[in-house]
Amino acid sequence: MKENRFKRVLREGGRPVGHMIMEFGTRGVAMMLKSADVDFVVYDMEHTGFDTERIADLVAWLKATDVAAFVRVPQPLYHFMARLMDAGVLGIMVGNVETPEGAKRIVDAVKFAPLGNRGLGLGTAHNDYTPPNPAEYVKAANENTTVICQIESPLGLENADAIAATPGVDILWVGHFDLSNAMGILADFQNPKFLDALRHVVATARKHGKLSAIQPGDPKQAEQWIDLGFDIISYKTDISIYRSGLINDIQFIRESLAKKAVAG
């Protein structure tokens, strides 16, 4: 089983930094992530066309690196989560978790007994096709894998304490657009109510010895949210990185051409 770099960085006293892939599901992405020195990547199945087979390929290519592979599933269903874990994924993210019962269902699909209820299919991709010692593997896998619950609604905020208290949950991750929308203040990220919600998630995670995470869209936003106490930062999506980089450079080229034309 591949080591979870995300958890290793935490054990070493660091704070993992990641990135989300929504569009560029190609074989080269794994080495690009390695060259960027990210600790983890979240492959998104909720808002993309990625299917289980594509994710399995992406995770297999990522084994050439030490970057930890997490996946946001389209729905919190056992057959999504357990199959992805068997493909070698090291963590599962679920959007809009609103109750401790919902959190427990995620843990049940990701973790083996006694912590969860994941079925045993040993000797496949998650074991590099080599049958492990079952008892040793189950214990190691439960320690090595990551469960991420997204807080994206007022009900999720209300139940954040019980969600964070659920054994097996590692991270409360704020989905900032969905949360602000559900609060009736879409994208008003400086609204005092929204900032109070962020502080509540950070404090609740910390109270239970869990982590708080968020995905800022620019350095200024990242700095503010780090100052609010977020432990884990996933920086942008592949789409936004490509779009903003291309826009900036194309604008530079246009301005350079215009200056050249004026100069004759």
- Flag whether the pTM goes above 0.85: yes
Q: Residue 29: which residues within 8 A CB-CB, separation 6 or more?
A: 21, 58, 61, 238
- pLDDT score, position 90: 98
Q: Which helix (H) or strand (E) holds 140?
A: helix 134-144
- pLDDT score, position 48: 98
Q: Are 186 and 177 in contact (CB under 8 A)?
A: yes
List, for the chain, all residue ranges whose pLDDT scores fall below the cut of 70: none
CA 194, 166, 5, 90 dihedral sign is: negative
Domains of the chain: residue spans and CATH: 5-263 (3.20.20.60)
Q: Which helix (H) or strand (E) holds 158?
A: helix 154-158
Q: Which residues make beta-bridge pairs with 88? A: none
The Cα–Cα gap between 42 and 89 comes to 10
Q: 154-187, pLDDT tens digit by residue?
A: 999 999 999 999 999 999 999 999 999 999 999 9
The DSSP code sequence of 170-203 is -EEEE-HHHHHHHTT-TT-TT-HHHHHHHHHHHH
- pLDDT score, position 263: 86
Q: Residue 129: which residues within 8 A CB-CB, separation 6 or more?
A: 123
- pLDDT score, position 1: 87
